[in-house]
Structure 1
């Protein structure tokens, strides 16, 4: 299982030919010109996902994406009902003036949130470093910008998701998007992270393919969307030879509508509560997966 987050700057991704495959030398099919793979993952669009047999779908309910019953953690200082976008956008905002925010860690988080909101309002010369540091604060236990390789036949995509947390068969990924809504690029990050998570558990006799569950968040400024995908071992097996012909992947999205104003907004108290409680539930799910293995 894994957790993955995407932020608002395109991550480094390149597609390169390879001379061999570390785990298997089997090669039975070649990619046909009609289905030629994209050179760069950053150029993937919805139409390109058809060849990968990957699709996005609105989740019918929250618990299809976000696990239930996380630990009961006090989030009140983070939520701060009287601190919303209208307050955070003030250039004179000073977190130390709010007596209800006394924890130094929460003060740092809210200050970074102010930086992101103020920076977004300026529109010109925006620096996504503010969003980076905000999500870095959200995901303190994450590994930042790890290199992940996603193989399709004799070719691989090098992807660098912003943040990655891994366990035996679960992953969490965080991704940042600067233009559009970035779902095709997010799909490649999910696939590459799932593929990379297989490496430590490779067995010479048994092979290394196993089902992977990937949780992901996309962050656009202060707006957060959650995703979940289950990737079957058979899907990875098909990728050894090129594009999959039978297996497919369905990535669920929550909130269900892929539109900026329909997601969870960290600059508002209700959005902060939902995002933070959801991350706690996902964290608990990852820890449970580790304990079970």
Structure 2
């Protein structure tokens, strides 16, 4: 039995099936998906249906595009011009798929294999255990009758630094932004939302979140898997940190990491892909 951690699919279903064929994926294997299952690629509906039917074989993390889909579904925002979500929103099994999606995790920890998977990252101001507890705060709301109200308050860049004094929607928003949108932050955990390029593009006083010392040094031994940052092209250049988003939706590759031996498998993007968005735009900006 093998476990494969896969980067952002974003509706690139044909590449996903090609990647699973390449690794000879079987009924005894497992896949972990680092979020952004949907959007901008051509087959988001097929991707959701496939992952849902895998049941316990798949662990799916929620990314910012997945949360955006749910926000559109609940009427909190309208679809954007660059979205490719219409087939999901018009599907006969739309409500079943959305109920499944909102029950997925923001952070998965496997203590036996010593891995943690998140979409964007874990801020240095939190321990991994604290991150798990805070992720659960948002997950519980997503599963509840408060989900619609959550999406009405999810969008925004403030607060941009953690405080235990944050309450209500502000608290849930910054937890969500850390786990699904973060790239650069400062040593105190203050977020920057202006840069999304390579490691050299950080603003003064900021670093990639995984280059900053962790609050608990023991967490340095946990191997962190993340997606979200296609500009890294799968290279985080940090010990025990694995960048999985290799920009399939932008015409590059879809990548899997076999957790048992850290072997990397990739397939090239197929067909015509959309042009990358301007670097100043973020899916959570209105």
TM-score bin, normalised by smaller chain: under 0.3
- Looking at secondary structure, tell me which structure has more strand per residue: 1
TM-score by length of 1: 0.23
TM-score by length of 2: 0.23
Larger Rg: 1
